[in-house]
């Protein structure tokens, strides 16, 4: 509904100082909203007794609410007010007789009497109108009368030892039959459960107990001859195995239960072994079918069996059980197959080298093996690995960082007084890779340096001297913590002096040794 507007006029006597509306104009607004005033206008905020022309009911709307767009009839507004007569009719239809007038709210308790049982109850109109039960005493989960609860426990052979606690609460009782105490719930007793645990176990044992003749017949049917009187279902019964003569002590329950066990373990193991045993001819044929030639007699499914592998020609010792389980049987053949599955395609490997500007000069072997190649940029030959090339490396002579192996270089000897150490190393002849300056900042002192034509020559001198000294028993002296960069080239100055390293460098230049692969120490 579209809100109606009023022009300001006199002060509203029923309000708080706001302008009072003209009574005739107020009546016109109410009639436009379908409401006929039944009394004079008293103010926009005061309830105004009117009759709704649509339904004929008497209502008391406020003019201020009508001007805001609200409906004037609470019965026709969609949130209808419940008429007392209609509410009482709903309660009577549910079997309730109201004992007081309608309380005025659908969620307020309404004192009524349930005609079926005669009890006084206080339901709410909204619950009864939604289909809820009228009487909590007549509901399926109705409270239990304490006297009725005690009578049910006595009927089950139990004497209560305290007041009734509730249907699902343990209730201390004493068994009339055996005098044992217990604490069952009334709900469990009503569901047919026994209230006394000792009596229940006794009844269960009696129902499962066999007489001596029947028990002995069960044992003989299992191939056992009893050697003592029947002790009970759950007790060991000494007997003799009719098949092998062994003395065993099974329980009758294990022979008659759901998961039956053999009476004689020795006979059971023998039968199990016979069921799993394979004929030697069939075992040999199976091994040959898998590519193995047995070199000794067959002993069993779980014993190593010495065989010749037709795949690689080596002697291997798989078990027949592992072959039946699908294993390969030959470790060497398995490794070869695994390596073949991981091996890089030679054409793809060569393509990777050419993309890095290197032309292979020999066949590809593995990604970790040095591969002799020629740089298409500088024409020099080097031996990088495929893994290093794929990690971003390239020609060692064309590199724009690190040690330049094609440029002039020098072999140096430095000493450190505090550490008592001496070190040999290589560095560029120019400042591109000034290792000597780096060592000087760490407290090392230059003792000797020798210039060579290329970085390869410097590395050859250094590696030759390191090999000779390591072979003579001179190990690494410092740790990575003491010298992070170059600690593998240090020696104890008391055992290898700086002068000896200097003389070794000079001797290498006067009597060069055959070139050897460069390694890291």
pLDDT tens readout for residues 119-147: 899 999 888 888 888 888 787 667 777 88
pTM for the full predicted model:
0.32
Question: CA 90, CA 183: separation in Å to the nearest integer?
Answer: 45
Question: CA 465, CA 505: separation in Å to the nearest integer?
Answer: 8
> For a pLDDT cut of 70, what percent of the chain falls above it?
87
At 329, is the pLDDT very low, low, confident or very high (cuts 50, 70, 90)?
confident
The whole-number average pLDDT for the span 304-321 is 92
> Residue 354 is inside which H or E element, if any?
helix 346-355
Structure tokens at 433: 């890779």
CA angle 63, 69, 75 (to 5 degrees): 80
CA angle 63, 68, 73 (to 5 degrees): 60
Do β-strands 490-492 and 445-452 pair in parallel, antiparallel, or remain unpaired?
A: unpaired
DSSP 8-state symbol, 312: T
The whole-number average pLDDT for the span 290-312 is 91
First to last CA, the chain: 95
* For the ranges 3-7, 76-80, 226-230, the one whose mean pLDDT is highest: 226-230
pLDDT at 208: 63
At 18, is the pLDDT very low, low, confident or very high (cuts 50, 70, 90)?
low
CB atoms within 10 A of CB 115: 14
- Do 252 and 219 form a contact (C-beta atoms < 8 A)? yes
**Radius of gyration, alpha carbons of the chain:** 53
pLDDT at 280: 85
Mean pLDDT of the chain: 83
Residue 149 has pLDDT above 80, yes or no: yes
Residue 512 has pLDDT above 60, yes or no: no
pLDDT at 19: 55
CB atoms within 10 A of CB 293: 12
The whole-number average pLDDT for the span 473-502 is 90
Residue 330 has pLDDT above 50, yes or no: yes
At 401, is the pLDDT very low, low, confident or very high (cuts 50, 70, 90)?
low
Which string of b and e fits 366-404 if b means at least 16 CB within 10 Å?
ebeeebebbbeeeeeebebbbebbeeeebbbbbeeeebb
By mean pLDDT, which of 208-217, 227-236, 425-434, 488-497 is the weakest?
425-434
Question: CA 438, CA 431: separation in Å to the nearest integer?
Answer: 11
CB atoms within 10 A of CB 356: 19
Which residues are within 8 A (CB) of 501 and not within 5 positions of it... i.e. 6 or more apart? Answer: 413, 422, 424, 448, 465, 491
pLDDT at 17: 47
Residue 154 has pLDDT above 50, yes or no: yes
Question: CA 39, CA 7: separation in Å to the nearest integer?
Answer: 22
Q: For residue 32, how far is the Cα from the chain centroid?
A: 69
CB atoms within 10 A of CB 178: 12
Residue 163 CB-half CA count within 13 A: 2
pLDDT at 258: 61
């Amino acid at each position: 509904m579209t809100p109606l507007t009023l022009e300001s006029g006199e002060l509203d006597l029923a309000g708080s100082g706001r302008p009072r509306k003209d009574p005739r104009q107020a009546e016109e607004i109410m009639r436009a909203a379908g409401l006929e005033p039944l009394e004079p206008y008293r103010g926009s905020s005061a309830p105004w007794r009117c009759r709704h022309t649509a339904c004929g009911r008497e209502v008391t709307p406020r003019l201020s609410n009508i001007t805001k767009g609200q409906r004037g009839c609470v019965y026709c507004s969609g949130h209808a007010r419940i008429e007392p007569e209609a509410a009482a009719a709903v309660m009577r239809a549910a079997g309730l007789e109201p004992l007081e007038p309608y309380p005025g709210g659908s969620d307020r308790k309404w004192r009524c009497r349930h005609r079926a049982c005669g009890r006084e109850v206080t339901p709410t109109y909204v619950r009864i109108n939604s289909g809820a039960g009228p009487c909590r005493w007549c509901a399926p989960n109705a409270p239990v009368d304490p006297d009725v609860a005690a009578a049910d426990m006595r009927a089950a052979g139990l004497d209560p030892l305290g007041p009734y606690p509730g249907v699902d609460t343990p209730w201390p009782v004493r068994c009339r039959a055996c005098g044992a105490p217990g604490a069952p719930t009334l709900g469990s007793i009503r569901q047919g459960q026994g209230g006394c645990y000792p009596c229940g176990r006794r009844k269960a044992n009696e129902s499962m107990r066999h007489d001596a003749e029947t028990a002995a017949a069960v044992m003989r049917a299992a191939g056992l001859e009893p050697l003592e009187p029947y002790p009970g279902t759950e007790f060991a019964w000494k007997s003799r195995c009719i098949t092998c003569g062994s003395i065993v002590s099974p329980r009758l329950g294990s022979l008659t239960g759901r998961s039956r066990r053999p009476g004689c373990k020795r006979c059971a193991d023998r039968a199990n072994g016979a069921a799993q045993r394979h004929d030697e001819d069939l075992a040999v044929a199976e091994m040959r079918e898998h590519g193995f030639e047995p070199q000794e007699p067959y002993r069993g499914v779980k014993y190593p069996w010495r065989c010749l592998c037709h795949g690689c020609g080596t002697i291997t010792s798989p078990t027949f059980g592992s072959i039946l389980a699908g294993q390969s049987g030959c470790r060497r053949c398995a490794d070869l197959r695994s390596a073949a599955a991981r091996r890089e395609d030679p054409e793809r490997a060569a393509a990777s080298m050419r993309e890095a500007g290197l032309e292979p000069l020999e066949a590809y072997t593995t990604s970790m093996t040095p591969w002799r190649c020629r740089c298409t940029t500088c024409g020099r030959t080097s031996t990088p690995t495929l893994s290093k090339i794929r990690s971003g490396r390239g020609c060692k002579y064309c590199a724009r960082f690190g040690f330049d192996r094609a440029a002039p270089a020098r072999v140096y000897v430095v000493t450190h007084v505090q550490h008592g150490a001496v070190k040999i190393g290589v560095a560029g002849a120019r400042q591109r890779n000034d290792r000597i300056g780096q060592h000087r900042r760490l407290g090392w002192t230059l003792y000797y340096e020798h210039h060579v034509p290329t970085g390869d020559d410097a590395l050859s001198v250094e590696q030759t001297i390191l090999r000779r000294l390591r072979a003579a028993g001179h190990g690494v002296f410092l740790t990575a913590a003491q010298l992070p960069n170059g600690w593998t080239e240090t020696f104890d100055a008391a055992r290898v002096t700086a002068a000896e390293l200097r003389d070794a460098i000079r001797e290498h230049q006067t009597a060069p040794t055959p070139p050897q692969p460069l390694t890291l120490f």
